[in-house]
Structure 1
Amino acid sequence: MKKFMDWLTNKFAPAANELFNRPWLAGLSAAMQKVIPFILTGSVIFFYNVFKEYISFLPDLGPILTYSFGLLTLYITFMITNQLMEKLGHPAYTINAGLVAIGTLFMVVMPVGENAGSVDALMGSLGPSGIAVGMIVAIFVAIIFNLWGKLEFLKDSNIPDFLINWINVIIPNLITLGTAMILVVILEINVMEAILSLFMPIANIAQTLPGFILICFIPAFFYSLGVSSWMFGAITTPIYMAGIQANINAVAQGLPATNIVTSESVFTLAFITMGGMGATLGLNLLMLFSKSKELKSMGKVFIAPSIFNINEPIIFGAPVVFNPLLMLPMWINAIVGPVYVWIIMRAGLLNIPTKSNQMGQVPAPISSWMITEDIRAFLWWAILFVIYLAIWYPFFKSYEKIKLADEGK
């Protein structure tokens, strides 16, 4: 174990941090974090609509949803390009590249055929279902602007600076939009369908039990090494959004929801992330009743954020990070949680979420009932809490003995 921990600490973790801090990955991660307010804005309206179903005189706030969450692909496209330009060292292009990415996106997703001119079809493409398309478009635009920026065209010329700046934006604009025009207008390729067809196998794999386990375990594993789980947003967000959108569409057609792997099932449900990623609420409860003064004191400090599924304090304060006695149960929980959720949802013992709501900081099991609209969520949450508690207990008691020895007890 000691050799393994030394390898994790001195080799694996530094290499992982270096990888995720590279410009392309860091830019994607930063962009996903910056669009969270738009996702949460939509979540607030979805939450509000739960009450509106029972209180009919409440006003319709649908337009807020339409022009926040409903334009998520648009926002992501701009923000990814913007952040990539910043991380790649092209501050002069952050706004211009982002804007031309929006123009390219519109060219790619503009409805054709029988839907030509349909505003509804266009809006549907700009919502969460088009995120994969927006990401590809943004990365393509960033590549063009990055390559052009490296050329430093007209750097030593006598042309006025403002004119050089214009030229150095116009040319990559023409290349980007021209390429999109060739594909869409001249070759008549449905770029959106082509991108989505490439993305579907990944999404389909994610919507399996092994995919569900991996999508929950990998971020938790890296989190235990001090690598923020936000880094994986660029990968998980399109999968989660496609999943919940498919559920919403299915219910609208009178069909059952089938996609379990959504942000709602992972976060808002607060089963897999009970107390935060790695299900640390059980650990926090054990700390509250610890014989160690240090652990008990920290438990009192950490309990408030834990109730709201925020566990950075306990992860870095207990600490769980690089603590072999606490990392292992966190990894086990990251496997047990998705397996548990998968079984009860597939067995029809708990409703699969059919509404988009990513308010993961609402205390459970209130959030669990809210997102499933199923009273059974309270029971299944309580059973899983006991399971998590049993997993944490032996590891925690071993760690507690070490702390008590340090305190001279």
Structure 2
Amino acid sequence: MKKLMTWLSDVFAPKARKIFANPWIDTVASTMKKVLPIILTGSLIFFYNVFRSYLKFLPDLRIIANFSFGLLAIFIAFLITHEAMLKLKHSQYQINAGLISIATYLLLCCPKVVDGVFQIENGRIGPAGIMMAIVVGLFVAIVFHLYAKLHVLENNTALPDFVSEWINNIIPITITLAIAMLFANVLDLDLYQMFINLFLPLQKGAQTLPGFILICFVPVIFYSMGISSWVFNAVTTPIFIVAIAQNIEAVAAGGVPVNIATSEAVFTAALITMGGRGGTLPLNVMMLFSKSKKLKTMAKICIGPSLFNINEPIMFGAPVVFNPLLMLPILINSIVGPAVVWLTMHYGLLNIPSKMIQIGQIPAPFSSVMITEDWRAVIVYIVLFALYFLTWYPFYKVYEKQCVVEESQA
């Protein structure tokens, strides 16, 4: 075990951090963090609509969601390029490159002009277009990055600075839009539909039991080594948002939701993330009654955040991170929790979420009932709490004994 922990600490974790520090990967992760307020704005409107469905006198605020969450692809197209220019140290191109990214995205969405009216399918600029927006944003960033490396007119003293700046923007702008025009107008390719078809296997794979477990389990492996699970948002957020959008559309059309791999099922319901990723709330509760002064004190500090599914304090305070005795149970919970949730939803024992409320800091089981609109969520919550508790208990007791011995020798 010591050799494994040494390898994880000294070899694996530094390499993983190096990979995620890559400017291109970091660009996508950073963008997903920055669009979170926009996503949460839409979530609040959907949360509000839960009450509006019972209180009919409340005003309809869907237009706010339509002009925040409903324009998500456009925002992401801009931010991906903007963030890339920042991280690649091409700040002179940040704004223009970001704006051209929006133009390129819209051009590739194959808009139509009918009777002088510019028309584009509403769905193409919303959450369904996230995957394409990311790729378009990166493509535009690559064009500007490669052009910037040529250092054109940098040392030209014959031209005024503002003229050099104009030229250095006009050239990559023209190249970018010309390539986009080639695909959309000359070759008549619908890249949006191509991206939908391309990522369909990934989207479908995430909705299977193995895929759902994997999408919940892998981030916890890294989290247990002190690497924030936020870095995986670049992969999971597009999958989750498209999935919940499809659920919403299905219900609106009189159908039933079928996508389980959504942020609502993973985070908002707080069944998988009970107390935070890895189901750490039962651990926190056990620590409240610990014989170890250290663990008991830490539990009192952490219980507040834990109730709101925030577990960074206990992850780094207990600690769970790089603790060989506590790493294994958090990994086990990250398989058991998703498996139970997927099976109960798949077999109709618990409703699949069909409203977009991406707020993971609502205490369960209130949040569980709210997002599933199913009182059976309380039963699932109790069952999972017991399972998490049983998983944590033997490992925790050994760790507690170690802490008590250390305190007695201090």
Q: 1:118: Cα distance to partner?
A: 7.6
Q: Which structure 2 residues correspond to residues 198-213 of structure 1 after superposition, within 5 A? A: 198-213=198-213
RMSD (CA atoms):
1.6
Task: Give the AA of the match of 1:219.
Answer: P
* Counterpart-to-counterpart distance in 2, 1:109 and 1:8: 44
* Counterpart-to-counterpart distance in 1, 2:230 and 2:83: 15
State the partner residue of 2:48: 48
**Is 2:401 the counterpart of 1:401?**
yes
Q: TM-score, normalised by structure 1?
A: 0.97
Please identify runs of 4+ aligned residues in structure 1 that moved more than 4 A: 116-119
State the partner residue of 2:242: 242
Query: Is the contact between residue 274 and residue 281 of structure 1 (CA under 8 Å) also seen in structure 2?
Result: yes
* Counterpart-to-counterpart distance in 2, 1:255 and 1:58: 26
CA deviation map 1:198-250 (0-9, x unaligned): 11111111111111111001101101111111111111111111111111121
Q: Which structure 2 residues correspond to residues 2-401 of structure 1 after superposition, within 5 A? A: 2-112=2-112, 122-158=121-157, 159-401=159-401
Task: Give the AA of the match of 2:299.
Answer: G
Secondary structure at the counterpart of residue 213 of structure 1:
helix
* Counterpart-to-counterpart distance in 2, 1:231 and 1:213: 18
* Counterpart-to-counterpart distance in 1, 2:118 and 2:178: 24
Q: 1:123: Cα distance to partner?
A: 2.4
Task: Give the AA of the match of 1:264.
Answer: E
Task: Give the AA of the match of 2:345.
Answer: M
Query: Is the contact between residue 288 and residue 299 of structure 1 (CA under 8 Å) also seen in structure 2?
Result: yes
Secondary structure at the counterpart of residue 3 of structure 2:
helix
Secondary structure at the counterpart of residue 374 of structure 2:
coil
The unaligned stretches of length 5 or more in structure 1 are none
CA deviation map 1:118-176 (0-9, x unaligned): 85x53221111111111111011111111111111111112221111111111111111
Secondary structure at the counterpart of residue 322 of structure 2:
coil
* Counterpart-to-counterpart distance in 2, 1:371 and 1:254: 19
Q: 1:111: Cα distance to partner?
A: 3.8
* Counterpart-to-counterpart distance in 2, 1:117 and 1:137: 25
Structure 1 pair 111–252 and aligned structure 2 pair: CA distance change class (3 A): farther
Structure 1 pair 273–107 and aligned structure 2 pair: CA distance change class (3 A): same
Query: Is the contact between residue 111 and residue 117 of structure 1 (CA under 8 Å) also seen in structure 2?
Result: no
Aligned residues: 408
Query: Is the contact between residue 78 and residue 101 of structure 2 (CA under 8 Å) also seen in structure 1?
Result: yes
* Counterpart-to-counterpart distance in 1, 2:30 and 2:189: 31
Structure 1 pair 8–375 and aligned structure 2 pair: CA distance change class (3 A): same
Q: TM-score, normalised by structure 2?
A: 0.97
Secondary structure at the counterpart of residue 355 of structure 2:
coil
* Counterpart-to-counterpart distance in 1, 2:89 and 2:124: 31
* Counterpart-to-counterpart distance in 1, 2:327 and 2:168: 50
* Counterpart-to-counterpart distance in 1, 2:377 and 2:100: 46
Q: 1:113: Cα distance to partner?
A: 9.8
How many percent of aligned residue pairs carry the same amino acid? 54
Query: Is the contact between residue 110 and residue 122 of structure 1 (CA under 8 Å) also seen in structure 2?
Result: no
* Counterpart-to-counterpart distance in 2, 1:376 and 1:307: 20
